[in-house]
Structure 1
Amino acid sequence: MHIEYDHENDVAYVSLVAHIADGTAVRQFTLDSPGGADLNLDFDEAGRLLGIEVVGARAGLPEELLRQASRTDG
């Protein structure tokens, strides 16, 4: 599992696989979390969950987790 965080846009991505090649995520399911973040679940063609995009990450993820995430700002 790997977590990337874009502080400027407040978006985090939790990758559940080592690498997600372009075009691998063919289905996306969006959920509204009770905390105010939007969750976009990425699935491959076989229905396996590849990763989770968290829009509004400060509202939806623990602060400690965001501090430890790889930064993708810029």
Structure 2
Amino acid sequence: AMERLHKSCRRLIWLNPLLRFDGFQPRAGGIRALLPHVDEFRPAHNLTSLIDLAELLARPARRHEEGISEWLHMMH
């Protein structure tokens, strides 16, 4: 389902309020399953994170690996 969703859009941005915590790691199976299919993995817990999201949406889409490389590295 995530692969099909990713193929149906220019970029897939996944918002997670847990990213506000230092040391968060994508350990849950659901997050680990979706990360290979998202282009950006971003926090969404306060006004600053929403402003950052608005700025991201105003820029051209980045390649998948540039937006989530840090998170994919944590999975290995």
Which band: TM-score by shorter chain? Answer: under 0.3
More helix by share: 2
Q: TM-score, length-normalised on structure 1?
A: 0.28
More strand by share: 1
